[in-house]
Structure 1
Amino acid sequence: MLAPNPNAAAASNAEVIAHRRTLWRWHFYAALFVMPLLIVLAITGTIYCFQPQIEPLLHRDRMVVADTHGPQLSRDVLLAKAVASEPRGAVPTLAQIETDRTRSAEFVFRLPSGESESVYVNPYDGTVLGTLSVEHRLMKQVRNLHRGLMLGKTGELLMELAGCWTLVMIGTGIALWWPGRLNARKGGLWLPRLSLEGRAWWRDLHAVGGIWLAIGALFFVLSGLPWSGSWGKEFKALATSASLGYPKGAWGEAHVHSTKPAATHEAKDAGEHAMHGMQMKMDDLPLHQTPWAVGATMVPEGAEASPSAARVPLDDMVALAAKNGIADDYGIALPTRPTGVYTVSYFPANPRAERTLHVDQYSGHVLSDIDYASYGGVAKLISYGTSLHMGRYFGLANQIACSAISLGLAALSVTGFVMWMKRRPARELGVPVRPAKRPPMRAWRGSLTVLGMIFPMMGATMLAVWCLDRLAFGVKRAAA
């Protein structure tokens, strides 16, 4: 029997160490960028998850009314009361419909200044209870922080990059934790070894907590990226072109239940011309929330009508929505132009019930009816992901689960920071030392390449990090 070759064993061990140092180095760079943004995402995401409970508490004087058990005024009368309370030039753009008898009626107006505000009216006596700015209310600010740090496009790109780099952090974290030749430690895999002290105790807490939260973190990233400002828009367009995303439009252009309104040939031609030249998308409407699957669909335009033509009453629109199975907690975008339409947008907790109706404002004919069955396969998955991501799908338990994952990820950022500070030499960044010999790691490099191709902006930043790493820390290497 041949004796084991000590040189071969030493070379094998050196390769294992080199693998581990390379993974640790990328984990460090990813975490250094992601940690502070992950804390922001975790805190704002948790707050926004409980929006349905928080807003009525914050604005109880405007949103909550006493149920008198008497009849409620019609929606048209309530809208008239809201219009009378607003300054000259304010345009009603949205009616939010709820059947809860303890909630006030909400109407959104576009002000002459260009901003929007919600007006709340008591549905029993028509008293105007007050207003709230749409742009400056607390939950809107929390959402803006979550999506873009309130920095506009720059912030959106930063948050998108944070999501992408979180994928690197998850992948390298799992690889560093994985038991085997890269990690031969005993214990501390599924439960932290609380008997340890110092940095080792923090490392166990970080590694074990990370592995338990990895699936939740991965889900949050993958379900959140389709909503991002740059990659998300491109992905939506790609999914549509491949017939995997949202419906292309109305009137037979996709699997959309629709009926053209009856009209004269001249009106028909005008309506079709408007359809081809329309500019507004669903995401442009003043709706509180719009399903991802229809966000980029075009809003159809109705035919021109005579100056004396009467608009369909809002109460009739509520009745039409109920007839189509839309009963509660939805928005009706109001027409603001002669060729505008009513848009009923239903974004419930169960994605299968999502519905979007575009209705001619004069005839009441349904121009377009988009339901869940009209969505492509990718859009259906994203709809479920969105509902779970926002803590809506299975009620309070979903909210609690999302909050636990979010706050757990924030705690991981804290433990990672503590480990870094305990290891970092004074006045140095503390980058893990590069191995003396670069290991092949073809699977790892191939994975990063694929990730960079899927997310081009992230690919560019990975290349930048690789170059900076060699320029700034290229000399210092670990001994072989």
Structure 2
Amino acid sequence: MSTTATDSSSTPVTAVAASRGYRTLWRWHFYAGLFVMPFLVVLALTGTLYCFQPQIEPLLYPHRLVVEPRDVPRLAEDTLLANARQALPAGSLATTARISSRADRSAEFIFRLPNGEKQSLYLNPYDGTVLGTLSVEHRFMQIDRMIHRKLLLGKLGELLMELVACWTLVMIGSGIALWWPRAGTTLRGALVPRFTLRGRPLWKSMHAALGIWLAAGALAFVVTGLPWTGSWGKHFKSLSASVNLGSPPGSWGGLPLHSRLPRGAAQLSAVVGNAADSQKAGMDSMPGMTMDDLPLPQIPWAAGAATVPQSQDAAPTVWTLGRVVTQMRALGLPDDYDVALPASASGVYTVSYFPPDPKLERTVYIDQYSGAILKDIRYGDYGAVGKAVSYGTSLHMGRYFGLANQIVCAGLSLGLATLAFTGCVMWWKRRPAGTLGAPGRDRAIASMRGWKLALVLLGAVFPLMGVTLIAVWLADRMLSGRPLQPLAD
């Protein structure tokens, strides 16, 4: 929610102005809205698009992603992977296979080219014909996702969007407090816009009513998105794992994390096909790496902090991708999962299954020589936090209950964009020319201990947010011309 307040043209001016602390809440809501509004529109639009990725991508790239079903068996995964390697420049490293048994979908393999670029290559699964390539980093939905997460600004953008999420909490809390029905206002009057009004009072009525209807959804969006942020979310995941509330304990299965290179390692790696650049390949399977370090498009949140094991000392045999697929089918995973391929002589096959239903999430590590399952992580192995985040993620992305979930998320997102627009209109109509137009202060300073305590707790939980809260408070005091006073005053 953005700025929602009254002015001299509104009906309940006297009653509202008399409420102690009202203008203080209004000022915080104003500052939060002023910062959040433009980013909220970006988040809403990019989030809505990404929510419909399964429908959008086949329309954008039909000649690569979609094939004509045939009444013949699909080629073996090893044959398709060999064809893919032959179609790319020498030195290209196969990093990931995307496994799908849908009759109308192509086979996809992700490579790192000699110049470092990541590229997806698509083949017809029935005859092995190469259908084309797409840049992993520059395809439309990936760009949309990176705008949503970090505004294409790298770490700076990631931190900025994290701040936006935190300030949205301030905006929601202050907006609800401002909306709360006061003397002479009925609940129905507060929940339903008064379309008989004109001018700014009409915009205020629409903004306030829409904001309260969307408050719960906006709060859910923020709470379920924060665990994926690059700074706070990363530390939250590590903390959850350290106290056994996130990733499962001993997620490498208690097996050694280091091993001697097996006999004939160079020849075996040549068979696997990932020994073109051993130094570069080794970067993908260093001891102590976690799931988040692997070249996988999607990973269950709770499994992200799990340490990746390494293949054990074994006889000179090799476990192929085709055998992994057969193995997964026997374990109940027939479709729609990703396999990170071994990138060195001690690497493993890592299977990541990230379905709409969190209870079915699965992460499996397979020794590349013996085919032994080093660890099979399932939803039941997660801690309480990991389970909650898994459900929140599925709902946040519009995946949990199909098209209906997508429509609900799109409605919430576009509703938030509408709130940003109505808040901007209200501000523009009230703003005196040549000024910022921040709401004036209450004449009598209210203690507002509950509000201040909430801000202190918010700043403590989100340190980056705490720094900006202090900065805004100091700037507000200095710009207002009032002597600085302690926050607890």
Q: TM-score, normalised by structure 2?
A: 0.88
Give structure 2 stretches of 5+ with no counterpart.
1-13, 264-284, 484-489
Q: 1:324 aligns with which of 327, 331, 341?
A: 331
Q: Tell me, what secondary structure is at the counterpart of 2:434?
A: coil
1:251 Cα deviation (Å)?
4.9
- Change in CA separation of 1:363 and 1:139 when aligned onto 2, cut-off 3 Å: same
1:289 corresponds in structure 2 to 298
Structure 1 residue 320: Cα displacement: 0.9
Q: Which residue of 1 aligns with 2:247?
A: 246
1:213-266 Cα deviation digits (max 9, x unpaired): 00000000000000000000111111122221112433545xxxxx789x99x9
Corresponding residue of 1:31:
33
The answer to whether residue 70 in structure 2 is matched with residue 68 in structure 1 is yes
Of the candidates 285, 294, 299, which is equivalent to residue 308 of structure 2? Answer: 299
CA contact (8 A) 1:199 1:422 kept: yes
**C-alpha contact 2:252 2:374 (8 A) present in aligned 1:** yes
Provide the rounded CA distance (Å) in 1 between the counterparts of 2:186 and 2:54.
46
Distance in 1 (alpha carbons) for counterparts of 2:380 and 2:125: 35
Note the residue ranges of structure 1 that are not aligned, 5 or more in a row: 1-11, 254-258, 268-275
Give the structure 2 partner of residue 127 of structure 1: 129
- Give the alignment partner of residue 102 of structure 2, picking from 71, 80, 100: 100
TM-score computed with the length of structure 1 as normaliser: 0.90
Distance 1:186 1:104 in 2: 55
Q: Which one of the candidate residues 339, 361, 376 is aligned to 1:369?
A: 376
CA spacing shift, 1:192–1:53, aligned 2, 3 Å: same
CA distance in 1, matches of 2:455, 2:357: 35
Alignment of 1:241-390 (within 5 A): 241-253=242-254, 278-305=287-314, 309-390=316-397
Q: 2:227 corresponds to which letter in structure 1?
A: P
Which residue in the other structure is 1:231 paired with?
A: 232
> Could you say what secondary structure the match of 1:247 adopts?
coil
Matched with 1:4 is none
**Kept in 2: contact 1:170–1:214 (CA 8 A):** yes
Shift of 1:286: 1.3
Q: Which secondary structure does the structure 2 equivalent of 1:174 belong to?
A: helix
SS of the residue corresponding to residue 54 of structure 2 reads helix
User: Residue 173 of structure 1 aligns with which residue?
Assistant: 175
- Is the alpha carbon distance of 1:277 and 1:120 closer, same or farther for their aligned partners in structure 2, counting shifts above 3 Å? closer
| Equivalent of 1:398 in 405, 414, 417 | 405
SS in 2 for 1:18: coil
SS in 2 for 1:192: coil
Partner of 2:211: 210
Q: Tell me if 1:416 matches 2:417.
A: no
SS where residue 195 of structure 2 aligns?
coil
How far apart, in 2, do the equivalents of 1:59 and 1:210 lie? 38
- Tell me the amino acid that sits aligned with residue 341 of structure 2: L
> 8 Å contact 2:314–2:370 — kept in the other structure?
no
Alignment of 1:21 onto 2:29: no
Secondary structure at the residue paired with 2:160?
helix
Alpha carbons 2:29, 2:175 under 8 Å: kept = yes
SS in 2 for 1:369: strand
Distance (whole Å) between structure 1 residues aligned to residue 15 and residue 446 of structure 2: 12
RMSD of aligned alpha carbons: 2.3
Q: Which amino acid counterpart does residue 116 of structure 2 have in structure 1?
A: G
Distance of 1:359 and 1:186 partners within structure 2 = 59
Q: The residue matched to 2:122 in structure 1 has which SS?
A: strand
**CA shift digits 1:100-153 (9 cap, x unpaired):** 011000000011111110000001111000000001111110000000000001
Count of residue correspondences: 448
Comparing 433-442 with 183-192, which one deviates more in the overlay?
A: 183-192
Paired residues of 1:250 and 1:367 also in contact (CA < 8 A): no
Q: Contact conserved, 1:305 with 1:338, CA < 8 A, in 2?
A: no
Question: What displacement does 1:347 show?
Answer: 0.3
